[in-house]
Structure 1
Amino acid sequence: MRWFPLALLLLTGCRAEDVPLTLTPSERQLVAQFDRAAFSSEFMGGQRAGRLLRWEGPIIPDYEGGMPPRLWDKAEQLIFDFAALADRPVSFSGTPNFILILTNTGSVRRAAGRSAPCYTEVTHDDDGVIQRAEIHLAPVSPEQIDHCLAEEIFQAFGLLDDSDLIPGSLLHESSARPDAAWQDKMLLRALYDPLLRPGMTRAEAAPHLSEILRDLSQQ
């Protein structure tokens, strides 16, 4: 398996829409998926400025609103699972910085600018370190809210954009899955690899990505 073209795709500005869909993610697709998810955002627009965002300190979860115990239990498990992939600690002491907010459908759709049942807002410093994440959820069907929890909690770790590149991915626009696919987990681990740093541009991250994905594929 050849990995040397991976970095070239980011350096040459490859985007997800430039890579044809297949049922099995290829090296090219994984690179394009990372590029889309890590360097852009559904709702933050120009705030991303094409730089990596990720957590560096502990994640301290909490919730606002009438959060049903079932949802909070599921949210906690997802946070612990994704934090383990990112090698970041989870704590319940200190000021909460990872907030789930159960609100009404109208508020969510007005803020998201479309017919969306959920969205995530992330605050970060000038170095690209995430300081706070707020996940806003509307009271939709159990299936929808389970998917929302998984996708929004996953995206709040720094892979903030959707992508239709890889069918089966949690980030696919048509996805209804309640958990992360293997390729999603690989990209989250890649984002938090020590070779990458918050605030990196595409060009700065590209030379390391092939090595990171190669190592992850062999584990």
Structure 2
Amino acid sequence: MGQSFRRLLAISVAFLTACTPVPQEPVTPTRAIGMTDSTMPAMRSFSGQRVTTPTRSNREIAKDFMDLSFRMESGRPVARLTRFVQPISVRVTGDVPASLPHDLRGLLARLRNEAGIDIFLTGAPRAAITIQAIPRAVLNDAVPRAACFVVPRVSNWEEFKRARRTPQVDWTTLERRDRAAVFVPSDVAPQEIRDCLHEELAQALGPLNDLYRLPDSTFNDDNIHAVLTSFDMLILRAYYDPALANGMTRGEVAARLSGILARLNPAGQTSPARPQNDTTRDWIENIELALSAGPSPARRRNAAFEAISLAGAMNWQGPRDGFAHYAFGRLNVGYDPQIALTSFQRAMQVYGRSAETRLHAAHVAVQLAAFALSAGDAGTVIALADQSIPVARQHENAALMATLMMFKAEALELQGRDAEAQALRMDSFGWARYGFGSDANVRARMREIRALTPEQGL
């Protein structure tokens, strides 16, 4: 393997998606960045603005709502609709990071304004939903591989440990929702904590399932979307609509849902409905195998390739097809770089067909930028970054945005535009501190990207 592709392997591992937590450790430097702790810019964060995604047909959204609400991720059926009675109180406890209260307040404001849910933060000792921040090692010791999770009928970590593997924490046994606990890591990057808040609070309130077919939602295990989208808010608004009630069956909800969506999303009444089919268990199992850490690299590559084949056989043209190519590319960077590049190009082609998958394309742009920078193609790197940075900003993904800014800074430097490069690099650091956490991690990411440039060959 050429040395440039060894560097590509490092960048592929470091900057894939939110699926892979950023390691909290420094990396041996390849070149001084010239930035001390005193000159590192302050961490930047987002305001929690509305994240708007294109409106799809209400017929499509109705099917999504039913599949999200009446099935678990495992495929187990959910017999009845359950939700909290409003107003809904939320409390925070544990080793609370400094960034969490700000991000939580922004999320609760969005839930009130966009989903119409009467939800509020309380300092009382008990609440409907408790968010507890605990060290990642403690969390993973109890639930390996889980970045964060939500549990019904408990209010703290000790209650959860006592109730584990009992019907008490089985969502399918609920008649209504009275208590739930969201457990998030306390010692990871601020963005990862925020992402956990969005995904787990949404599931505490509403649907429990994730669907790989969704292009515009956090209710999707591909982890492309980091914060709740306008689609997610529409689903939650419908979930808490007065026309629905605790204990309703699938048929009872279906009978009311078309009228609810017509009222809440009138634009979706005229949008054309596209054919949809369920994601097969074979495809899901192959994707899960491809993304898992335990199996051999060959097994993981084979699983990703099988997912591509299954997507082709089902004629999927969207997030599932693109994600299978993306996963296959990731797994081939250190094995066959040309296959990896071809896979990323194919994923970009698939994602580029629709405005619904612009954020997906921005993730792929990181991988293509790594190849282009390694080849000294500064123009392509800049074009990829300019196309993708606004998308990352719109979707409030600081880690993705900072990474793309760092790539563009290196490309500008290759073109001799040193002042522009330094200004952009400085701007990227503020976002990187939110996206990656510690200053050591920020510097490590910058070094990894710099190591891709031809003059940094080892």
Are positions 1:188 and 2:264 aligned together?
no
8 Å contact kept, 1:117–1:140: no
Equivalent residue in structure 2 for 1:78, among 97, 107, 113: 107
What SS does the aligned partner of 2:103 have?
Answer: helix
RMSD of equivalent CA atoms: 2.8
Equivalent residue in structure 2 for 1:118, among 127, 130, 148: 148
1:156-211 deviation line (CA, Å, top 9, x unaligned)? 11222222121121111122434211111111111111111111111111110111
2:179 — aligned with what?
132
Q: Report the residue type matching 1:116 in the other structure.
A: A
Are positions 1:34 and 2:34 aligned together?
no
What SS does the aligned partner of 1:68 have?
Answer: coil
1:96 — aligned with what?
127
1:20 — aligned with what?
none
Q: Report the residue type matching 1:63 in the other structure.
A: V
Residue correspondences, number: 194
8 Å contact kept, 2:73–2:208: yes
Larger Rg: 2
Structure showing the higher strand proportion among its residues: 1
Deviation of residue 72 (structure 1)? 1.8
Q: Report the residue type matching 1:115 in the other structure.
A: R
Equivalent residue in structure 1 for 2:95, among 63, 66, 71: 66
Report runs of 4+ in structure 1 exceeding 6 Å deviation: none
Structure showing the higher helix proportion among its residues: 2
1: CA distance between counterparts of 2:56 and 2:234? Answer: 12
After alignment, is 142-151 or 85-94 more displaced?
85-94
Q: Report the residue type matching 1:52 in the other structure.
A: L
What SS does the aligned partner of 1:60 have?
Answer: strand
What SS does the aligned partner of 2:245 have?
Answer: coil
What SS does the aligned partner of 2:197 have?
Answer: helix
Deviation of residue 147 (structure 1)? 1.4
2: CA distance between counterparts of 1:28 and 1:110? Answer: 43
What SS does the aligned partner of 1:156 have?
Answer: helix
1:67-89 deviation line (CA, Å, top 9, x unaligned)? 12311221132123224424324
* Identical residues among aligned pairs (%): 28
1: CA distance between counterparts of 2:249 and 2:241? Answer: 15
Unpaired runs of 5+ residues, structure 1, are 1-22
Q: Using a 3 Å threshold, how does the CA distance of structure 1 residues 88 and 196 change in structure 2: closer, same or farther? A: same
1:105-129 deviation line (CA, Å, top 9, x unaligned)? 34434554x52201011238x8733
Are positions 1:143 and 2:191 aligned together?
yes
Q: Using a 3 Å threshold, how does the CA distance of structure 1 residues 58 and 118 change in structure 2: closer, same or farther? A: same
Q: Using a 3 Å threshold, how does the CA distance of structure 1 residues 104 and 167 change in structure 2: closer, same or farther? A: same
What SS does the aligned partner of 2:178 have?
Answer: strand
1:9 — aligned with what?
none
Deviation of residue 132 (structure 1)? 1.1
What SS does the aligned partner of 2:180 have?
Answer: strand
2:283 — aligned with what?
none
2:221 — aligned with what?
173
2:8 — aligned with what?
none
Q: Using a 3 Å threshold, how does the CA distance of structure 1 residues 108 and 162 change in structure 2: closer, same or farther? A: farther
1: CA distance between counterparts of 2:149 and 2:72? Answer: 11
What SS does the aligned partner of 2:120 have?
Answer: coil
Deviation of residue 26 (structure 1)? 3.5
Q: Using a 3 Å threshold, how does the CA distance of structure 1 residues 173 and 49 change in structure 2: closer, same or farther? A: closer
Q: Report the residue type matching 2:254 in the other structure.
A: A
1:23-68 deviation line (CA, Å, top 9, x unaligned)? 974434312321232223348x97x742111111322221221112
Deviation of residue 154 (structure 1)? 1.3
Q: Report the residue type matching 1:173 in the other structure.
A: D
Q: Report the residue type matching 2:175 in the other structure.
A: G
Higher RCO (CA-CA < 8 Å; seq separation 6+): 1
Unpaired runs of 5+ residues, structure 2, are 1-53, 154-170, 268-458
1: CA distance between counterparts of 2:242 and 2:182? Answer: 27
1: CA distance between counterparts of 2:222 and 2:228? Answer: 14
1: CA distance between counterparts of 2:119 and 2:231? Answer: 22
